[in-house]
Structure 1
Amino acid sequence: MKKKYSANTDENLIQAAEYVEKPESQLKEMWETLRQNKAAVVGLFTICFLVLIALSVWVSSLMGKQILPYDPNYSDMTKSFIWPNAQHWFGTDQLGRDMFSRILDGTKISLFVGIAAVTISLSTGVLLGALAGYRGGRTDAVIMRVMDMMLSIPSILLAIAFMAALGKGIDKAVIAIGLVSIPEYARIVRASILSVKENDYVQAAKVIGSSDTRIIMKHILPNIISLIVVRATLGISTAVLDTAALGFLGLGVQPPFAEWGDMLGRARGFIFSAPYTLIFPGIAITITVLAFNLLGDGLRDALDPKSRIK
């Protein structure tokens, strides 16, 4: 825990500004707490496994090699609707494509869209939230009213509206999903800055003449980074779900690329004749979302200072 300083003199304020807790100790304490949470560890290892699959498939495709059992986009109508067996572990779809290969190939798309969308929403939301919280006044009012208007519309409907304006495609899906999540990060960062900007170390930084940008980047954001990390982790799971929802509606990633939501959407007409075509993509989405949620909950506990008080 951080040491408390008196704010009675400028000298004490300067001392407070110079006091910084070692990041190594913070990371060590966080890891010790995180690894005691079995659910979070399971989520972490599941995410690492999914990332490994996605990277392997992506790198092999760049090198022109095939590590999947079958070409995920190869269609053979003579093999359509083959139930799971030794040759096709997850069966084949209506076009005779191997479901197992397509689900593995879809991992890289779902993770890419999720991480890229969160990167857009996180960077923009942190910037707007920091500006609104630190400056206050009219700047705060204008930014937050825009964020409130965006939050008043269900995220999936807003994403569909953006897709209608931008068009279909994986890049458009990244932008649309990233935009609809900006208000959440902006509100979190704004609320956090309002709670810390009057603290001793921020006042000390003002006394010694630090610029507003330096104060925000060096003294404020590092103290609220835990909230941002937790929300970003949970945000990836939301982005994966939104990606699947857009794909299900035919607005996301377009054929012939394999994407779990698109696979669900195209298989919904065969729910009785070939239910496995819906079950396996649904399981893939569930496992991915659950893994990020478990890790996010574990990080929230690990990064909470109260949980580390002895």
Structure 2
Amino acid sequence: MKNTNVSSSDNTLQAAEYVEKPESQLKEMWDTLKQNKAAVVGLCIIIMLVLISLVVWVSNLLGIQVLPYDPNYSDMSKSFTHPNAEHWFGTDQLGRDMFSRVMDGTKISLFVGIAAVSISLTVGVVLGAIAGYRGGRTDTIIMRFMDMILAIPSILLAIAFMAALGKGLDKAVIAIGLVSIPEYARIVRGSILSIKESDYVQAAKVIGNRDSRIIFKHILPNIVSLIVVRATLGISTAVLDTAALGFLGLGVQPPFAEWGDMLGRARGFIFTAPYTLIFPGIAITITVLAFNLLGDGLRDALDPKSRIK
């Protein structure tokens, strides 16, 4: 009986030590990330975009005008005004200030991207954890369904969801979130399969932990870094999908400013007013590039080979 208690105590300590490991991994990852100049640039751009979004959103709630013009104010007498000191990015076909609309569109693109990834991340992690930990028929059913979704191009599937759900910001969030679920499910499942037979998992079982506690307290914290990397890259994909849906007229509807919708409505003026496409396109490019730079930097920081001096 004494030996059993000692063994259980040792197993408990082993499990506890392993669970503490992700904290040191995240600190080491951050120290490595700071040495990656491209990733730091991406992080700075993301912080700037988030600040712009928050300032515009809060000012709209408080009724304060922080942008040079109302993004939705139309003045037909100034339609297709080229960039100048008064209108930095020029005006569109309805005489709306392009700079104000591009800045205002930042909050919509970031909101859709982050909200969509939150949906796909939550559902994908739960499904992947159940499939990987349970195995057997449960794993087969869940992953075959995920494979069916992956077999269809994501943008086509998002368009199909939009056709079923209807147009609008909330519908775009749901559609983009649903099509990305299989990616997170596969990542989590693969990671759990590789570590669920580890000593610390077996120790957690021996001391009587429930399966749900083992998954969410002892397993998932040790793969959170992989999830963070994929989520960061996933936001850039979600921003592109949002722009694609907006370009097709299925995403955010007028009069709200959204980069993809701005591109779609300006494509007929590519030769007469090219700036109406250039500035929204640059905004999309910078945002996607920033998240990709940060995601690549996080992936490099988590690569064990990159830590070998």
Q: Match of 2:138?
A: 139
Q: Match of 2:108?
A: 109
Name the CA distance, whole Å, in 1 between partners of 2:24 and 2:212. 26
Q: Match of 1:304?
A: 303
Q: Match of 2:229?
A: 230
- Cα shift readout 1:148-203 (whole Å, capped 9, x = no counterpart): 00000000000000000000000000000000000000000000100010111001
Q: 1:173 to 1:269 in 2, by over 3 A?
A: same
Alpha-carbon distance, 1:22 to partner:
5.4
Q: Match of 1:59?
A: 58
Q: Does structure 1 residue 74 correspond to structure 2 residue 73?
A: yes
Q: Match of 1:219?
A: 218
Alpha-carbon distance, 1:11 to partner:
6.2
Amino acid at match of 2:38: A
User: Residues 26 and 225 of structure 2 are in contact (CA less than 8 Å); yes or no, is this contact kept in structure 1?
Assistant: no
Name the CA distance, whole Å, in 2 between partners of 1:110 and 1:94. 22
Amino acid at match of 1:128: L
Name the CA distance, whole Å, in 2 between partners of 1:23 and 1:233. 18
Q: 1:41 to 1:221 in 2, by over 3 A?
A: same
Name the CA distance, whole Å, in 2 between partners of 1:11 and 1:91. 70
Runs of 5+ unmatched residues, structure 1: 1-8
Amino acid at match of 1:263: M
Q: Could you say what secondary structure the match of 1:67 adopts?
A: coil
Alpha-carbon distance, 1:139 to partner:
0.6
Q: 1:299 to 1:113 in 2, by over 3 A?
A: same
Name the CA distance, whole Å, in 2 between partners of 1:307 and 1:19. 24
Name the CA distance, whole Å, in 1 between partners of 2:302 and 2:155. 30
Alpha-carbon distance, 1:303 to partner:
2.6
Runs of 5+ unmatched residues, structure 2: 1-6
- For residues 1-310 of structure 1, the aligned pairs below 5 Å read 12-20=10-18, 21=20, 24-309=23-308
Name the CA distance, whole Å, in 2 between partners of 1:32 and 1:14. 30
Alpha-carbon distance, 1:10 to partner:
5.9
- Cα shift readout 1:55-110 (whole Å, capped 9, x = no counterpart): 00000000011100000000011100000000000000000000000000000000
Amino acid at match of 2:191: S
Amino acid at match of 1:257: F
Q: Could you say what secondary structure the match of 1:19 adopts?
A: helix
Alpha-carbon distance, 1:281 to partner:
0.4
Name the CA distance, whole Å, in 2 between partners of 1:127 and 1:77. 52
Name the CA distance, whole Å, in 2 between partners of 1:160 and 1:284. 23
Name the CA distance, whole Å, in 2 between partners of 1:209 and 1:27. 29
Amino acid at match of 1:304: D
- Cα shift readout 1:124-143 (whole Å, capped 9, x = no counterpart): 00000000000011111110
Q: Match of 1:4?
A: none
> What TM-score does the superposition give when structure 1 sets the normalisation length?
0.95
Alpha-carbon distance, 1:232 to partner:
0.1
Fraction of identical pairs, as percent? 84
Alpha-carbon distance, 1:305 to partner:
3.8
Q: Could you say what secondary structure the match of 1:17 adopts?
A: helix
Alpha-carbon distance, 1:26 to partner:
3.2
Q: Match of 2:4?
A: none
Amino acid at match of 2:95: G
Name the CA distance, whole Å, in 2 between partners of 1:126 and 1:245. 26
Larger CA deviation: 139-148 vs 14-23: 14-23
Alpha-carbon distance, 1:35 to partner:
0.7
Q: Match of 1:3?
A: none
What is the total number of aligned residue pairs between the two structures? 302
